A and B are shown apart, each in its own frame.
Chain A
């Protein structure tokens, strides 16, 4: 099939044509095996998990070089909102989806499906020079609601406590609010004290705690480093540090699961990604980024929730609840 090029054609046009032909040839050479999965997965959500998810995605892309996975943080709320607005394929979250959000999703024809991908301890950190090394949940409650405003009251230095929190879009913010700020009866509607600083990332919390002797902050244990120290936390009993062992045994009081959500039963490449995430290799990445891998085959079924369809036993052996 010869293409006849007229003699009077300008040089520019010739170059363009040549390039076009070259692209076509290269394109042919690059053509993938039709059985190979190809595509693009957009993941959005929790800042807590963003590093872990990034590692999972990198390993996943090594295994499936023709699937591109993009990950953005911003907070669990961001992930949930994008799943509902249909701007991501997988939403990551460090909190459960709220009933109101599920309702809103269903209204838009989105049926979030929940996967527990790992466990995490919410560590409370203070400056290395702060003599305080352990606090009870009640202490934390008093600090964050503004009932205790000086470290002296807790046996520390005479310094005004600077409470740091994440922005309202953070799942950790909501978890901490429910578990610590609104401690006690279900209808407790206390709020973070208004002087609480709302920082935009977990890293910003680390930086402020490192720089400020009077600061206290909280974050997912994946962000712990030696520049600041985690305090031991007790809920009515002994004090435990936020480490893998105590999160797994649930003796550390601020432990929580981390979630991935997809719209309905994941299909195609999303299915491949979820399978990979829950495979030993995927779980390993969570371990390496400081989280606690979920045990394989752990049942996540929760009673009392109506199911849209009978959940089939998925390949990874995890029973998944379809919330409706």
Chain B
């Protein structure tokens, strides 16, 4: 009797925490939405979404997020182009090629890579990577999109490698055996059989990597120069959505137009990451089947 009551209580506690997570996500979204809708009472939504100038403290202020959105997209694309080939190759090596002891060493090193605080990477970017890129490419300044992309690629690597590796290991053994049986080499098997079989998992890894990169704040705020300009190339300074919120939130007075504008930027960011996670989730599910 006592045991059954006990079990009931524990069960409902667990159910409650599960429900709470859903409620929290929902409330956060509502909270963001409520404050950003207040902006559009004072500032037309068209000018917010398609405005080409972000001048929050001018008279009158301009809150056009095109430069910020493009900044985020440039940095993210740059980071993904750099880290996906590396990440997938590293995962292939760890999953299929590396001998046992090396596998363990690599896996733990990748975990260490994941635990480097982003401020430390940002600092390395300011002091070393930025000046290095400026000298190498003859740029105006090392504080540019590429510096941010490289550091972000570095940050996304652990996510991509470990999820990819899981996907590759999860490919049924029989596929490999069948391929070998038909006389395929190790490389042919890996490239033509295992990789396509794990493709959904790899796409999920890439999407989660994108989510990690687009939401990252500290590094980009420190190294990309934060100029709210519509970037012509990744070798120019740019400003991302996240850096804008972090850089300006402290000075806004609750209830001002600028404050609401930052919330609206937050909603845009939330929607982007939500979509990315959704796609990643769908891919993951497909990979499991």
The smallest C-beta distance from A216 to any residue of chain B, in angstroms, reads: 11
- Is A197 within 8 A of B250, CB to CB? no
Give bound CA distance, A85 to B131, whole Å. 40
The smallest C-beta distance from B198 to any residue of chain A, in angstroms, reads: 41
Taking CB atoms and an 8 Å cut-off, the chain A residues in 78-94 that contact chain B are 78, 80-82, 84-85
Q: Which residues of A contact B248 (CB under 8 A)?
A: 167-169
A63-80 vs B, CB cutoff 8 Å, 1 = contact: the mask equals 000000000001111101
- Is A212 within 8 A of B142, CB to CB? yes
Smallest CB gap from A197: residue in B: B225
Among B55, B127, B229, B247, which residue has its beta carbon within 8 angstroms of that of A169? Answer: B247
- Is A160 within 8 A of B140, CB to CB? yes
- Is A174 within 8 A of B57, CB to CB? yes
Q: Which residues of A contact B126 (CB under 8 A)?
A: 204, 207-208
Give bound CA distance, A300 to B130, whole Å. 45
Among B134, B230, B239, B254, which residue has its beta carbon within 8 angstroms of that of A198? Answer: B239
Judged by a CB distance under 8 angstroms, whether B252 is at the interface is: yes
The smallest C-beta distance from A128 to any residue of chain B, in angstroms, reads: 15
- Is A189 within 8 A of B57, CB to CB? no
Give bound CA distance, A211 to B57, whole Å. 30
Q: Which residues of B contact A207 (CB under 8 A)?
A: 126-127
Judged by a CB distance under 8 angstroms, whether A136 is at the interface is: no
- Is A101 within 8 A of B247, CB to CB? no
- Is B251 within 8 A of A204, CB to CB? no
Among B130, B228, B254, which residue has its beta carbon within 8 angstroms of that of A211? Answer: B130
- DSSP majority for the A interface? mixed
Q: Which residues of A contact B134 (CB under 8 A)?
A: 211-212
Among B127, B222, B251, B254, which residue has its beta carbon within 8 angstroms of that of A77? Answer: B251
Q: Which residues of B contact A101 (CB under 8 A)?
A: 253
- Is A200 within 8 A of B131, CB to CB? no
Give bound CA distance, A80 to B57, whole Å. 14
Judged by a CB distance under 8 angstroms, whether B58 is at the interface is: yes
Best-surrounded residue of B140, B221, B248 (most CB of chain A within 10 A): B140
- Is B227 within 8 A of A196, CB to CB? yes
Judged by a CB distance under 8 angstroms, whether B59 is at the interface is: yes
Judged by a CB distance under 8 angstroms, whether A215 is at the interface is: yes
- Is B251 within 8 A of A198, CB to CB? no
Q: Which residues of A contact B252 (CB under 8 A)?
A: 77, 81
The smallest C-beta distance from B60 to any residue of chain A, in angstroms, reads: 10
Judged by a CB distance under 8 angstroms, whether B256 is at the interface is: yes
- Is B250 within 8 A of A78, CB to CB? yes
Supposing A194-B227, A198-B225, A207-B127 touch, asked if A212 and B141 sit within 8 A by C-beta, the answer is yes
- Is A168 within 8 A of B141, CB to CB? no
Smallest CB gap from A74: residue in B: B250
Give bound CA distance, A174 to B55, whole Å. 13
Query: Which residues of A does B touch, CB under 8 Å?
Result: 74-78, 80-82, 84-85, 101, 104, 160, 162, 167-169, 174, 189, 191, 194-200, 204, 207-208, 211-212, 214-215
The 7 nearest A-B residue pairs measured at CB: A77-B251, A169-B251, A197-B225, A78-B250, A194-B229, A198-B226, A211-B131
14 extra interface residue pairs, beta carbon distance < 8 Å, beyond A169-B247, A189-B58:
A75-B251, A80-B253, A168-B56, A169-B250, A169-B251, A191-B58, A194-B227, A195-B237, A200-B222, A200-B226, A208-B143, A211-B130, A212-B131, A214-B140
